[in-house]
Amino acid sequence: MNANKNKIYKSYDSNILEALFLKYNVSKYYIRQSISGAVSGVKPDSIKKDYAKMVKANEQTISNLLKNVAD
């Protein structure tokens, strides 16, 4: 029996998932599957690209806020 039973789960930004849910009108489960690459097609590719753009924009916003607070 394996002593190490810790499974690492990938977590996604819930705000971004909600935005994609509203944009594409598909389940959040389908969105998570699309981001992870478990499903293929045109719509999952679009979802994956939009998620990446939103994460990048979110990180830039946070870094800008941190810069403004540090000044």
* Cβ neighbours around 16 below 10 Å, total: 19
- Does residue 1 lie within any of the structural domains? no
Per-block average pLDDT, block size 10, for the chain (71 residues)? 72 94 96 94 96 96 88 69
* Burial (CB count within 10 angstroms: exposed 0-12, middle 13-18, buried 19+), residue 26: middle
Containing structural domain, residue 37: 14-70
What pLDDT sits at residue 16? 95
Return the exposure string of 39-58: e unless at least 16 CB atoms fall within 10 Å of the residue's CB, then b: beeeebeebbebbeebeeee
- Does residue 65 lie within any of the structural domains? yes
What pLDDT sits at residue 2? 64
Number of domains the chain contains: 1
pTM of the predicted model as reported, rounded to 2 decimal places: 0.81
- Does residue 54 lie within any of the structural domains? yes
